[in-house]
């Protein structure tokens, strides 16, 4: 479903048609923001014929609905090493989201890693949240999640620590490409729920895509450290099973 649901069809002049399906809906009944980002990033990349996506910055402007949508893309600059474009997602006369993304080849160049991946039990030794008090349709049908323990907020007892580590993969183990990494940065419940805040809406999300993952699960670290006057940031790191950082993101969200 990932391939089908993130496909857009060129209509010419940089405009593309797509359909936001209900298969990636959040528990609030709206298309997940990471799914929207993946579809927009994939369409923009095909349109401007960039290399691999490198960085994607999306601002969510209005609440999305499932159904037909239009992606209006344009190239901003085609450099030798980096290509940049932008894409606007429209549903009828509603401007849903605005994306600026850069694409680049990632061969060679220095690598120096100072971070460490989450320390999680093996996926088979973790909790599958489906049927464990968490929702079990929409995006929970499309992404497999494995948690070290059942989250406190699911039992009405937020633990006060807005940090979550979990495994993720596309349902059934489908290969995870770079746009899918962008999806996985914003596919799980916000860690701010462990502060008892059960409704949060992303305003802006920037994703750095570092490398294609090795096959397998993605170890995910989500954390919120700063809540200021009703807005909060949320950081995400994604690591593959070989222990490589594959993507990271930061978002600014508003408490509802």
Applying CB under 8 A, the residues found at the interface with a second copy are 54-55, 57, 59, 61-62, 76-77, 79, 81-82, 84, 86, 95, 98, 100, 102, 104, 106-115, 162, 195, 197, 203-204, 206, 208, 210-211, 224-231, 233, 245, 248, 250, 252, 254-255
In the complex, minimum distance from the CB of residue 14 to a second copy, in angstroms, rounded to a whole number: 16
- Asked if 144 and 168 touch (Cβ cutoff 8 Å), the reply is yes
In this structure, are residues 103 and 76 in contact, taking their beta carbons and an 8 Å threshold?
no
For a second copy, the closer of residues 79 and 121 by Cβ is 79
Q: Quick check: 36 and 150 in contact, CB under 8 A?
A: no
**In the complex, what is the shortest distance from the CB of residue 187 to a second copy, in angstroms, rounded to a whole number?**
20
In whole angstroms, the minimum distance from the beta carbon of 4 to a second copy comes to 29
| Angstrom distance (rounded) from CA 229 to CA 142 | 34
Whose Cβ is closer to a second copy: residue 148's or residue 203's?
A: 203
Nearer Cβ to a second copy, position 150 or 226?
226
98, 101, 114, 118, 133 from 57: Cα distances, Å: 8, 6, 24, 25, 33
Are 238 and 248 a contacting pair, CB within 8 Å? Answer: yes
| Exposure string for 47-67, b = 16+ CB within 10 A, e = fewer | bbebeebbbbbbebeeebbbe
CB of 114 to a second copy, least distance (A): 4
Q: Which residues contact 163 (CB under 8 A, 6 or more apart)?
A: 191, 194, 221, 222, 223, 224
Identify which of residues 140 and 220 has a Cβ nearer to a second copy in the complex: 220
Pick 146 or 249: Cβ nearer a second copy: 249
Q: How far is the CB of 144 from a second copy (least distance, A)?
A: 26
């Amino acid at each position: 479903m990932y391939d089908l649901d993130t496909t857009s069809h060129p209509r010419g002049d940089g405009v593309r048609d797509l359909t936001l399906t209900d298969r990636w809906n959040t528990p609030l009944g709206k298309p997940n923001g990471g799914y929207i980002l993946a579809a927009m990033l994939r369409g923009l990349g095909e349109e401007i014929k960039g290399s691999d996506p490198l960085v994607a910055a999306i601002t969510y402007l209005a609440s999305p609905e499932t159904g037909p949508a239009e992606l209006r893309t344009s190239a901003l600059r085609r450099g030798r090493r980096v290509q940049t474009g932008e894409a606007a997602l429209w549903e009828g006369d509603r401007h849903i989201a605005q994306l600026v993304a850069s694409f680049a080849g990632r061969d060679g160049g220095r690598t120096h890693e100072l971070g460490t991946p989450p320390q999680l039990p093996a996926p088979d030794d973790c909790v599958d949240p489906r049927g464990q008090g968490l929702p079990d349709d929409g995006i929970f049908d499309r992404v497999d999640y494995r948690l070290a323990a059942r989250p406190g907020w699911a039992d009405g007892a937020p633990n006060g620590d807005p940090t979550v580590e979990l495994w993720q993969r596309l349902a059934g183990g489908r290969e995870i490409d770079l746009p899918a990494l962008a999806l996985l940065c914003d596919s799980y419940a916000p860690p701010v729920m462990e502060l008892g805040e059960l409704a949060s809406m992303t305003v802006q999300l920037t994703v750095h895509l570092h490398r294609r993952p090795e096959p397998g699960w993605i170890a995910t670290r989500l954390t919120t450290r700063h809540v200021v006057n009703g807005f909060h940031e949320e950081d995400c790191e994604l690591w593959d099973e070989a222990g490589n950082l594959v993507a990271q993101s930061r978002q600014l969200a508003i408490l509802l």
